[in-house]
Structure 1
């Protein structure tokens, strides 16, 4: 099925108490959600009793806005298959997109892996993006205490800043600075009392429904990761202040200080996140790129939070788009045309404790043939 016929799926995540449930309640009322199916963990949590219009089945209700709300039954695969079949049979109103809510402690990666790896789901659904709620009042404290909340913000395509009505302007400004370092590319959407226009949350994926074509520049946003004047491979990192203690395996790039230092506790979780873009002038042979990614996944898979790229490979006159989350890669996509005259390969990395230099060295070894490329164990190819 073409992207136009596969339903976009947005993953809604956010830490416990970050306002995700309030946001969902407001979204379910919004007329802009009319052709949306929302998959939640429990009806009770969202408090739908007074909103019900019709019960389509035991785990599905049709909301007053016209959107379909259903709870996860069995697992996500079963629920999405059920949702698709009920749409085909006309049991529920037709929907054009799906929103899947994670639990407050959840890592969004397994949901993305499910969408990428289940053949039946991959044929009918496509990942649109990750929406993460961050609490303007308690957000900094949650980022300090919970590595999971940092990860949720780091992999997001959209960040919804909740409770802005109750937060002090200085605290909000400090939190926004932190979020810009953790995730330079994601727009931050303020939501007082949970009010957000759903149109601001969607269409974050490679495929742009407005143009009915891939829009790689909007999806990759590589310029957000590049601060001019930092050498051939521009990158944006948040490093420890010089002189602060680091472990031997910290992965920090101590030679590259790009002015994002703050006076803070060295154990702060967002200091472990790296967000940067590699730009390669020469075409990258596909098999060498695969070997490079295999080595990276084998050695640092869990710490590769997200990888997005557009590659110029000698085997194709057209660009190849790649997208990975930890050890799992989406099948590569060949675009119909180059978006601009720029033919350089651009790869965005969001990592945890894997510095730019570590990846650059591996890339040099495998792709550029500089230095010795380590052996990759059998069976360690990207999924």
Structure 2
């Protein structure tokens, strides 16, 4: 009921399936997406342990997406005694495996990766792909799940009283706020997060309302691989603009992640207006006099024109003192004089 299906046979999933059944006469299938760290076995149990659900639904197949660049390291993760390796569980229970992101590894690496996956699950079909592009006919309506095969692999599959333990060092954090975010400040923060936490980041993603832009900004990443950009979808007139993110990983410093994301929050109202004289940062420790010539230009807070012979134009990404400030009054009263830092 909280929108998340993890790895426990819960009454709310059964209730949801039963309610859905009365509404799906026009549906071809129901697709259930669990969390990335779920053990698939208890979710699959849902289709067998209730009296009514098996009469309403047939479990067609279990699909697992394996990240070609990271799957081996995830399978090799050392877990405390008694703690399950979710990546290994997902591969073992799969009827189809999408070996995704093959463009991020060398061709010669793919065969050994597939051998490792087949060692865990010799019967699952493996499809190499990029961005999970696979013909849907290979994934839906395949009648691939076999209870008999599953019980051979896991005799305790139908034992709903059995307990399984997750790695306590793996957790997630998510938050959202209403308003706007400075995407240039986000870029700086993400670079820092990747550098300091990248090895422990399993998955992170977000949808953002960027100041000065009508289009929504979507980012996602795995480990030290990050991608983000504006999508075609725009914020509709009257739609509540908000920013949200989720990070999943190991030994996460939740305070650092939360505070860092919130530090990217900004207002579309800027301190300066077009025509104002300012001093802008042009290097690590250098500043120069300039005039504001445009507000919110390509998601940058300002475009300015320097007061040099070439009348150079440049972006000021963030509306903060470190990047742009009011000129000091020089002895002669020249308000355009640059700060002497």
Structure number with the bigger relative contact order (C-alpha 8 A, sep ≥ 6) is 1
Please state which structure has a larger fraction of its residues in helix: 1
Q: Same fold (TM over 0.5)?
A: no
TM-score w.r.t. structure 2 length? 0.39
The structure with more radius of gyration: 2
